[in-house]
Structure 1
Amino acid sequence: MSAFTATPRLARVLIVALRWRLHEFAAGTRIYRPLALLAAILPRARRDLNTLPRGERLRLAFTQLGPIFVKFGQVLSTRRDLLPGDLAEALAKLRDRVEPFPGDQARKMIERELGGPLQQFFQHFEEIPLASASVAQVHAATLLDGHEVVVKVLRPGIGTRIQRDIALLHILGGLVQRYHPHADKVRPLDVVAEIEKTLEHELNLQREAANASLLRRNFSNSPDLYVPKVFWDLTRQSVLTLERVHGIPADDIKALDAVGIDRRVLAIKGVRLFYEQVFRDNFFHADAHPGNIWVDPDSGTEPRFIALDFGIMGSLPQDDQYWLAENFLALFEQDYRRIAELHLASGWIPSSVRVDELEAATRTVCEPYFSRPLSQISIAEVTVKLFQTARQYQLTLQPQLILLQKTLLNIEGLGRQLDPDIDIWAVA
């Protein structure tokens, strides 16, 4: 996208940002003053703008800019090693829900992808979608043999719209790279490239199907996690057909209690499943929020999770998997020297950094946490703080480690919702 063709969209992004008074993020740069002057002549997005925290204003601006910026904000919220906590928390609340596109359009897309009329493949197809998001929507259907399935279909033209907004994000990232005093730490163009890769993966439903199949195979003998079956003969790059499952969102406490689910056991199983995926299989669900993690309502005192939405999965290079495991062990033992040595030996931090300096910084971050009872210490929170501290020493993390950090936050948060007294350290 050239600067000329990007101008109308770029102008809209700028106006929305200034109406939400987001020019404050440019404070200390050469462009702050002209942005502030322009903001002064634009009407505020809301009368109560002065009472809204900056994170809430940023979230509302992304929502107004549309589904691709919502997705951008969601990915950005995982970068707690880069963002202040208040911004990460606000962006994590972004919801990827948009108006559905017409069911007859979905029908035509599916027929085109599968190469025949719908009745050739399905006994029944529900044109009103079960769910609708920025990239795709999901319809209920019944196969000719009576099996209940869900059919996920990409939005018409979504690839073009994503390319347009990603090109725009590259332009904006370049501006941040040029004018922001801390651009070398934030590396905005790397962040945009990471988001671009994530969205590219979500546009290939055959890739998602392969992810689902591998996770299903990894847990085929597990009583703790169920993964729906993929119907490969009815799956293409723009269409995914999965076995339909029924469950309760994992954070719906009232519904779980109503059917007799043992929440304490469920919380423990959730944490263990995370560590099995990371350290046993090296393949983990990296979008494990409650909308994608359900509970089998009939599983009672031996509860079973159900996994959904396999567009974002993670795996670590073997070296990073080793270094991460060693870091966790050192953290459990409060061996700050070992943590510092591991960060240097892994190559995450330049070898020019002095180990005793890094050890002291690590101790400063961790000691306040370890003054509490272990059951009250968040492994995810300590890990995030460690990474934030290490950024001061030019920490370089692979995107997969960032995904893992996000997943750990989600799983630990869910575990504490299910059982506030869970001892994450004992389970880990």
Structure 2
Amino acid sequence: MRHLARLVFIVFVVLRYGLDELALSSFRQRWVRLLVRLMTVGRRLDAPRGERLRLGLERLGPIFVKFGQVLSTRRDLLPTDFADELAKLQDRVPPFPAAQARQLVERAFGRPIDALFASFEAEPVASASIAQVHFATLKDGREVAVKVLRPGMLEVIDDDLTLMRTLARWVERLSADGKRLKPREVVAEFDNYLHDELDLVREAANAAHLRRNMAGLNLVMVPEMYWELCTSSVIVMERMNGVPISQRERLSDAGVDIPKLARDGVTIFFTQVFRDGFFHADMHPGNIQVSIAPATFGRYIALDFGIVGTLTEFDKEYLAQNFIAFFRRDYKRVAELHVESGWVPPTTRVDELEGAIRAVCEPHFDRPLKDISLGQVLLRLFQTSRRFNVEIQPQLVLLQKTLLNVEGLGRQLDPNLDLWNTAKPFLERWMNDQIGWRGLIERLKNEAPRYVQLLPELPRLVHQSLQPRGVSEQRALEDLLLEQRRTNRLLQGIVYGGLGVVLGIVVTQLLLRWQIW
């Protein structure tokens, strides 16, 4: 009944905001178009379609809001007006009562809250769809932030994700671009992100890992986690004091070098992505502050580590080569990389793909960031990808989302920031480290334990390789026949043993029935 009631509510919201028309309008089947006409008879939908989609998702609740935020990064999947409206979605969720928050903290640690903290502020400083944050003070005087998971989220998430999976299957079957855009894989990744956020210990571990990675950079601060006060539903961390990065005038009045701050943001992003392969994937202005304390003046402060992205060595190398080729305007290399990676069919003509990519990217070079929209560039690239049947890689969705966040932060801080020239030297240094002597030495260090294990076996391996081929084959054949005989004996033992057990059970039952025992 709970699932049925939720489904009825969703259908009501879909009809109220005309989302059925939006969802079905892209399908080409004649019967689907006829259904759309029948369903829209008599309804007046005056608001723009993108606004109706955003309002409908907000009405459906925080899980659909989060899905809309993730979906806003998939500009290959959405028209421009949809993506622009979904980018406005925010987690404006009312906080749950302070008394309930206290109860959740006490239940998580099994002790009264007064035994844990010298003080605990009832009013939350932040409230989102997954959790809310309260400031507190430990018994030893340390100021901390306490993040409390919103109660009852797991059931709501599982119910809504079930419906999303069903919708994704229908989109994949009926939509012309369904298979290429992989909607089921997108929903699966969204499922992983949400369930990761529901485990606050995982978030604490993400923060600790990012803190170690960024320790030597001196550009960003990550709060320390107090592990003795971390559970899956409540975590306690170092309280960070900074100015929200959206308050540009306040930062400027405090003496912060705004252009340098913008460049530092780009450096932090590319360091996390290409050096570490582990990056903060929720870098919207609400999660980024700037320190104005004398000891850490001008450093970024990162918050909320529920969503992080990871990249394999193959992903990093592929992306770095693409970026460098873009910066050098080597569009032929970009096209070749798409073919080599298997993202486009092997029959694709490289010269045609090169020309299409050049038409998208060339107009945007040598222009300040205020005149460039990475969102528009990505949109046109995705439109081009549709023409060449490029398969979108779901593991890069978070990277795309974070790149758009970095663009927004850069534009907010310094509209004249040249993102391309700022990032190009960093990527070139990274590639030199990968393919130069330094990269070779580093890889030899990483492989040294394997070499140590293989060296004692080297004489035997050489001896085996020098043996006559016929002798080796004969020995291999004899070993194979011996192994087959052993397997046959084992199977025979299992069969005979099983028959003996069955026979024993039957005889025992007969004896008991005839009262012979």
Asked if Structure 1 and Structure 2 have the same fold, meaning a TM-score greater than 0.5 normalized by the shorter chain, the answer is yes
Aligned residues: 418
1:123-162 alignment runs, 5 A limit: 123-162=118-157
- 8 A contact 1:262–1:302 mirrored in 2: no
C-alpha distance after superposition, 1:204-230 (max 9, x if no partner)? 111100110011111223331111111
Once the two structures are overlaid, the 10-residue window that deviates more, 319-328 or 66-75, is 66-75
Pairwise CA distance, 1:101 = 1.2
Contact 1:19 1:39 in 2 (8 A): no
1:373 is the counterpart of 2:331: no
Once structures 1 and 2 are overlaid, which stretch shifts more, 17-26 or 83-92? 17-26
**Contact residue 103 and residue 128 of structure 1 kept, 8 A:** yes
Question: Which residue type is aligned with residue 373 of structure 1?
Answer: R
1:315 positional shift: 1.4
Aligned to 1:359: 354
Q: 1:225 aligns with which of 220, 237, 243?
A: 220
Q: 1:374: Cα distance to partner?
A: 6.0
Write the distance in 2 (CA, Å) between the matches of 1:195 and 1:412.
23
Residue 86 of structure 2 is matched in structure 1 by 91
**Aligned counterpart for 1:208 among listed residues 200, 203, 209:** 203
Which stretch shows the higher mean deviation, 170-179 or 104-113? 170-179
- Paired residues of 1:374 and 1:425 also in contact (CA < 8 A): no
Residue equivalent to 1:25: 23
Mapped pair 1:406 → 2:407: no
CA-CA distance at 1:169 after TM superposition: 1.1
Deviation at 1:179, TM superposition (A): 3.1
1:136–1:152 Cα contact (<8 Å) kept: yes
Aligned match for 1:15, one of 9, 12, 15: 12
Residues 1:235 and 2:236 are matched in the alignment: no
User: Is the alpha carbon distance of 1:265 and 1:116 closer, same or farther for their aligned partners in structure 2, counting shifts above 3 Å?
Assistant: same
Number of the residue aligned with 1:339 = 334
Identify the match of residue 268 of structure 2 among 269, 273, 281.
273
Return the offset for 1:379: 5.5
1:146-205, Cα deviation, whole Å (9 max, x unpaired): 111111111111101100111111222233233333322333222221211111111111
Letter in 1 for 2:14: A
Q: Is the 2:367–2:418 contact (alpha carbons within 8 Å) kept by the matching residues of 1?
A: no
Flag the structure with higher helix content. Answer: 2
Q: Is the 8 A contact 1:234 1:240 kept in 2?
A: yes
| Equivalent-residue separation in structure 2 for 1:257 and 1:315 (angstroms) | 34
TM-score, normalising length: structure 2: 0.76
Tell whether 2:316 aligns with 1:321.
Answer: yes
- The answer to whether the Cα contact below 8 Å between 1:279 and 1:321 also exists between their aligned partners in 2 is yes
Shift of 1:381: 4.7
Task: Assess if the C-alpha contact under 8 Å between 1:265 and 1:302 holds in 2.
Answer: no
**1-structure distance, mates of 2:383, 2:309:** 21
Letter in 1 for 2:351: D
Q: Distance in 1 between matches of 2:296 and 2:381?
A: 37
Is 1:289–2:284 an aligned residue pair? yes
Offset of 1:25 from its aligned partner? 3.4
Q: Structure 1 segments of 4 or more deviating over 6 A?
A: none
Quote the offset at 1:56 in angstroms.
1.1
Partner of 2:101: 106
CA distance in 2, matches of 1:41, 1:25: 18
Q: CA deviation at 1:369?
A: 2.4
Higher mean C-alpha deviation, range 219-228 or range 147-156: 219-228
Which protein is bigger by CA-based radius of gyration?
2
Structure 2 CA distance, aligned partners of 1:296 and 1:396? 42
Unaligned runs of 5+ in 1: none
1:40 is matched by which residue type in structure 2? V
Amino acid at match of 2:9: R
**Cα root mean square deviation, aligned:** 2.2
CA distance in 1, matches of 2:3, 2:40: 21
Q: TM-score, normalised by structure 1?
A: 0.91
For residues 232-262 of structure 1, the C-alpha deviation after alignment (integer angstroms, 9 at most, x for no partner) is: 1100111111111121111212222232222
Shift of 1:278: 0.9
CA distance in 1 between partners of 2:362 and 2:416 (Å): 22
Where 1:373 maps in the other structure, the secondary structure is: coil
Residue aligned with 1:40, SS:
coil
Cα displacement string for residues 78-121 of structure 1 (whole angstroms, at most 9, x for unaligned residues):
21232222211211111112111122222222222222222222
Larger deviation: 30-39 or 10-19? Answer: 30-39
Contact 1:261 1:301 in 2 (8 A): no
CA distance in 1 between counterparts of 2:364 and 2:372 reads 6
Contact 2:93 2:127 in 1 (8 A): yes
Distance 1:359 1:334, change over 3 A: same
Deviation at residue 377 of structure 1 after TM alignment = 4.2
Alpha-carbon deviations, 1:365-396, whole Å to 9, x = none?
223324x5366445565355334422433323
Taking the TM superposition and a 5 Å limit, the aligned residue runs for 1:240-259 are 240-259=235-254
Secondary structure in structure 2 of the residue aligned to 1:268: helix
Q: Who is 2:66 aligned against? A: 71
Aligned-pair CA distance for 1:32 = 4.1
